[in-house]
Structures are given as C-alpha cells and as structure tokens.
A and B are shown apart, each in its own frame.
Chain A
C-alpha cells in the first residue's frame, strides 16, 4: 500500500546507514542466539581470575574467573529485553495519554500534560532511581522505571502529531460521516502518527540501553550473578589499572549499540520527514 518505502530508498543512499543496519542485525542475532553461541555458562567460575584473552577465553576471564565473552553475549540479551520492554511501556502509555490529551483537549489536555511536565522535570536516571527506590531493585522494576521515565516525551510527541492531524480533512470527513471517537482515533489518527512514534522509539531504545546500564552499574538493575553490561563495568572498573579490558569491553558494547541505534533513528527520521512535513500532502 505504500509506494517505494522511503526507508529503503534512504538506505540505498547512505553507506553509514547500511553499515549501522548490518551491525544492528549482528547485535540482534547475538541477543536472540547468545545462549547458543556463548562458549561457556556465564555464571560459572572456569579458571583463574583476570586472565588475558587467549584461545580458550577469547576475551579473557573476569575478576572471579568467569568467561567475559559469554557474559557479554548474555548481557546483550538482557540489554535488548530491558530496552524493548521499557520503550514499549513508554510508547504505549505515552501515545495513549498524548492521544487522549490532544483529542479531548480542555481539562483532559491540561491535567495530562501538566502531569507529564512534572515527570519531565526529573532527569531520566534520577527518576528511574526514585522509582527503583520505591519498587526495589531488579530486572522487572528497572524496565518499569525506565519505561515510566520515557512516557512524557512519547506523550508530548503524540499530542503534537495528533493535534496536527485533527485539522486534516480526512478526519473532518470521518466526523461528517458520523464516525465515533474510537473509530476516528483508531483508523484516522493513530496510523498516521505511528511513523513518527516509531522513529522516536528507535532513539528511545538507545537511551533505555544507557539507563539500564546506569542502573545495573549502580547495582539497582539486573542483579548478580545474572550478567549485564552495566554490572560488568561496575566490577571491571575496580581493576581498571591492571585489567582495563574488563570495563572497556562492555563499555564498547554499550557504545556500539547506542551509536548504531542513533544512526538508524536519524536515517528513519530523514526518510520519513519530507513526507510528513513536506509541501505535498501525499499519503505516506
């Protein structure tokens, strides 16, 4: 139904996007199949602590002798799960609140958006810390904390999109036909706002990865012995002068994933932008 998907034409134009996509696919494969690729059990002590990379342990062993490569691969999966679930929470609740605020305007708009402003006043990690303090540390609570923190931005974005869409003729036409609110929202507003929301979700995924790493680094996210990138940095940094790889490897993994997600998010935005803000109101 969409003519020549704009993302794919953007993809053809830019080799950076192509490279980012390849790397993102690799990360995703690792997240999906990490447990099968990993040479060892990530929680088992296999040898002497802090060994240098070798044929047996490609990335060496950590401070108590576990395989760093296996922990890294398992950690990818954790990072993915947290990022996707947290972003999903933010997207669903944020979009819903933004839609309600824009659609009903008036009091609903004022109340919802002032609440969002309050949430927005806290820096992301601080808000996550506050929520973790209430709910207690752990994987699930980390996802909730990160997700709730991203609701306001999603809500603001969705509200802006819907406000713009509400003035479009096809929405007025639906109303003139006698369509009810649910039909107008579901069929004539949400599908048109979705593209923008997905672009923002990509950027939000990167932020969620970073926040999860931050929480785990502080010991409030994923609990040991479950491997997580943030946790690996936290323990690795104690040996930064003697075995810097222990902190640098998970650091590089985080940096790489965020970098790639940001590039993909930007490309996606470039690909969709002219269609949404451009002069010609072609159906995108």
Chain B
C-alpha cells in the first residue's frame, strides 16, 4: 500500500518555500493600533527527500507545530508554497486536498484528546479507511488487525474505548490510525511529549522501526533535542517562527553553529557523568520575545551573549556555512573540528 510514488530519488517529496502563517487578531479598539495579525511562522523553507526524517525543534510558541500543520493545510498557510510530490497544494480544490490526505497523515501530541472518546479503537483505526473508501467491511477488519499488530497492540482490544488505554498505548492507536491508509508522508507533532519518559523511548523506537519498514518520510516536531537524535536524518531549529539552523543530524549535535542551538544542546543531559560535570551549561536569560512584537534584526539577539549592533540592524539570512549546515547568524560558532581561528565574516 505504501509503494513509492516518486521513482526519481533525487526529486524531493516535499518542498516548502517561504511558508508563512499569520493568525488575524481581534480588533480591540476602533482606533485599531497595533498589529493586525500574529505571525507565527515566517518565511520557512526546506525540502525533504523520500524516506528522510527531518526534525523541527523549538520552544513552545516558536511556530513548529504551526509549520507542520500548515503543510497539511490545517489551517492553510497565509503565504508561501508547499509542493508535495511536485503538486502545488494551494492550487488544489478542497476535494483534491482531501484525496491527497491519503498520502499525508498526522500524529498528535495528546493521544487522548486526538481521538474521539465515543468511538472504539477499532472504529478509530477504521475511520480513515472508510473516509477514503478503501476495502470492503471484511477487508477493513483484516486491515485493523494487521495495523494493531504492526504497532504492538493486541487485536483483541479493538472493541475497547480510549479511556481504557494508557497514554503510550493510545499513541500507538494514533500511529495505527495514521498508517491505515498507507501514507508516504507523516507529520508527527510532538508525539511523545505527553508521555512518560519510559514510554517515550518505546514510541520513538516504534516510529524508527515503522519508518524503516514502510519507507516513511517523517516530519518530526519536538521541543527537546534529546528525543529526536535517534530518529532524525536532519534537524531544523526554529526560533520565533524562523528556521535559525538546519543541519545533518550528527553534524548539528557535534558542532552546533547557532548560539541558540548551542544553548539548547547544553541543556541536553549527557549520559557520562564526568562529561556532564566537566561542561558548563549555557543558561539563556529571559524568554522568547512575543511574536506580536518581534525584535528588529536577528530574532534571537535579545537573549544572545554574542549580540552586536549589527544583529539589531540586520536580520541574518539562513545561509550555508558548510555542506551539511545552514545557519542564520552573523557570528556563527566555529565548526567544532576546526581551530577557532578568525571569526567568520558577517555577510
């Protein structure tokens, strides 16, 4: 069911270009001063190859979930282009978008809230099959059993209701539901954030296995760099609605180039207690600025220890600093394996 639709391996499955999402603000007074809309996502661009896993990492309010949802047009982006398998999503009629959802599915953060509590888990997993008219009743029943086994649930549980399950089990239901129609692209919106740490690992392992077996292209959204490392091919770090660094997974962890990425990584606990004791964590001061009044220039400058006047004057564009890394910073950190000689010149 998951046959690859793109034979040309070099062509990206997903191309996101200058994606922006704004939420209109209610007018509070007749004089109507202040911003008219909240810009949650600004000019986000990236591409994903077939079978690749890209993680988007950021604090809450950074626009990471909104980005994932905008790609699925839930709600549609305010501007920018999303091409899925070469098809421009904004050019599609609602009917065609719904048909395309068969190939693009979503896994949600809160496994209990994202299922209909009045439906049995069997019905929940079956629903996308009914929506897309896949199979007769008997075939659908067989498919439910197959899916429940695939995600590690007992098929005998399909008559049970969501409140009878633990969070981890219910997230498996959510994954089975997303896989039911055989999608090739999945947006996983913080799928483990609501789960216990011990269960997080199980669900991550499950996703890693399914991604291999089913050759899924996975957009994984997380607020924590520690959970995405195992799963990701590439990682994008977002801050205030913009990608500030995007790099190959190993490169990013070994050699973060943006000060913000470096600070985030210093908060990830290390397994080796000696190494943990030896390093000095970078503690960021303050909070992320409100997206209603973003700072001029670089969005991160208000909390950056390296900020210079240039950072307030000019927003650094996202630009490649090495074959593996693009970063949006006037003064990026030196690559880890090179001697920190001269600063990279601002562009």
Residues of A within 8 A of B (CB): 1, 3, 168-170, 172-180, 183, 187-188, 191-192, 281-284
A–B pairs, 6, beta carbons within 8 Å: A168-B113, A172-B108, A173-B108, A175-B74, A177-B101, A283-B162
Q: Are B161 and A1 in contact (CB under 8 A)?
A: yes
State whether A183 and B116 are in contact (beta carbons under 8 Å apart), knowing that A178-B101, A283-B163 are contacts in the complex: no
* The residue from B105, B116, B163 contacting A188, defined by CB atoms under 8 A apart: B116
Asked if A172 and B74 sit within 8 Å, CB to CB, the answer is yes
Minimum CB–CB distance from A192 to chain B (whole Å) comes to 8
A174 with B127: CB separation less than 8 A: yes
Q: Which of A168, A176, A192 contacts B74 (CB 8 A)?
A: A176
The answer to whether A178 touches B114 (Cβ under 8 A) is no
The 5 closest A-B pairs by CB, nearest first: A283-B117, A178-B101, A169-B114, A169-B113, A176-B106
Interface presence of B31 (CB below 8 A): no
Across the interface, do A183 and B113 meet the contact criterion of CB distance under 8 Å? no
Given contacts A169-B108, A178-B102, A178-B128, contact A191 B118 (CB under 8 A): yes
Q: Is B118 in contact with A1, judged by CB distance below 8 angstroms? A: yes
A129 and B110 alpha carbons, distance in the complex (Å): 51
Task: Identify which of B99, B112, B113 contacts A178 (C-beta below 8 A).
Answer: B99
Q: Which residue of A lies closest to B120 (CB)?
A: A1
> What secondary structure prevails in chain A residues at the interface with B?
helix
Smallest beta-carbon distance A169→chain B, Å: 4
Q: Is the CB of A173 within 8 A of B114?
A: yes
Q: Which residues of A contact B119 (CB under 8 A)?
A: 187
Q: Are the CB atoms of B131 and A177 closer together than 8 Å?
A: yes
**B interface, over-half SS:** loop
Give chain B nearest CB distance to A178 CB in angstroms. Answer: 4
Which residues does chain A contribute within 8 Å of B163, judged by CB atoms?
A: 3, 282-283
Indicate if B132 sits at the interface (CB-CB under 8 A). yes
- Any chain A CB within 8 A of the CB of B98? yes
Give chain A nearest CB distance to B336 CB in angstroms. Answer: 39
Residues of B within 8 Å of A282, CB to CB, are 117, 163
Q: Is B177 an interface residue (CB 8 A)?
A: yes
Residues of B within 8 A of A179 (CB): 98, 127, 131
Q: Tell me the smallest distance from the CB of B256 to a CB of chain A, in Å.
A: 32
CB of A184 to closest CB in B, whole Å: 10
Report the Cα distance A43→B30, complex, angstroms. 65
Q: How far is the CA of A123 from the CA of B106 in the complex (A)?
A: 49
Beyond the given pairs A170-B114, A173-B106, A178-B99, 6 more chain A to chain B contacts, judged by CB atoms under 8 angstroms and listed by A's residue number, are A175-B74, A176-B105, A179-B131, A180-B98, A192-B118, A283-B162
B44 at the interface (CB under 8 A from A): no
CB distance A283 to B101 under 8 Å? no
Q: What is the CA–CA distance of A170 and B105 in the complex, to the nearest angstrom? A: 14
Contacts of B128 in A (CB 8 A): 177-178
Nearest residue in A to B102 (C-beta to C-beta)?
A178
Within 8 A of A (CB), among B207-265: none
**B192 within 8 Å of A by Cβ?**
no
Task: Name the residue of chain A whose CB is nearest to the CB of B95.
Answer: A180
Mark B64-82 against chain A: 1 for CB-CB distance below 8 A, else 0.
0000010010100000000
Q: Give the contacting residue for B116; candidates A170, A176, A180, A281; CB below 8 A.
A: A170
Q: Separation in Å of the A277 CB from the closest CB of chain B?
A: 15
Complex Cα distance, B132 from A174, in Å, reads: 12
In the bound assembly, the distance between CA atoms of A179 and B106 in angstroms comes to 13
User: In the assembled complex, how far is the CB of residue B17 from the closest CB belonging to chain A, in whole angstroms?
Assistant: 22
Please measure, in the bound complex, the distance between the C-alpha atom of A283 and the C-alpha atom of B161, giving whole angstroms: 10
Q: Which residues of B sit under 8 angstroms from A192, Cβ to Cβ?
A: 118
Asked if B121 is an interface residue, CB under 8 A from chain A, the answer is no
For residue B41, CB closer than 8 A to chain A, the reply is no
A13-B80 Cα distance, complex, nearest whole Å? 58
- Do B161 and A281 touch across chains, with their CB atoms under 8 A apart? no
Check B151 for interface membership: any CB of A closer than 8 A. Answer: no
- State the Cβ distance, A275 to closest chain B Cβ, in Å: 11
In the assembled complex, B115 has its CB within 8 A of some CB on chain A: yes
How distant is B192 from chain A, measured CB to nearest CB, in Å?
Answer: 15
- Known contacts A176-B72, A177-B128, A177-B177; A170 and B101 CB within 8 A of each other: no
Chain B residue, CB-CB nearest to A168: B113
A1, B164: Cα distance in complex, Å = 10
Contacts of A283 in B (CB 8 A): 112, 117-118, 161-163
Q: How far is the CB of A154 from chain B (nearest CB, A)?
A: 22
